[in-house]
Amino acid sequence: MEYKAFFKSGQNLFKNFDVKYAVFEDKGSFFIESEICGGFFREISFLGNCGEEKATETAKLFAEKRVHPLHIEDIISDMRF
């Protein structure tokens, strides 16, 4: 397992917590690991073999939009990689 990129969303008026997003590769497949900072909730979502660039762009978008880790798996399943 090798980490490729890290992103962090900031707090806003509606969400008073930060979320960290990390892209990692394991055996040719990419994943997004997300966790609420200071909490115990952590989620790992499978992206497949979409490539490092697409995986990084996706994680960056999630950070910009402040996507909660609970919703990432559903969003990824709606995206057509």
How crowded is residue 80: how many other Cβ atoms within 10 Å of its Cβ? 4
Q: What is the pLDDT, as a whole number, of residue 79?
A: 83
Rounded distance, CA 55 to CA 61, Å? Answer: 10
For a pLDDT cut of 70, what percent of the chain falls above it?
91
Rounded distance, CA 51 to CA 12, Å? Answer: 31
Which residues of the chain carry a pLDDT beneath 70? 11-15, 80-81
Its pTM stands at: 0.85
Q: What is the pLDDT, as a whole number, of residue 49?
A: 93
Mean pLDDT (the chain, rounded) = 89
Do 20 and 51 contact (CB within 8 A), yes or no? no
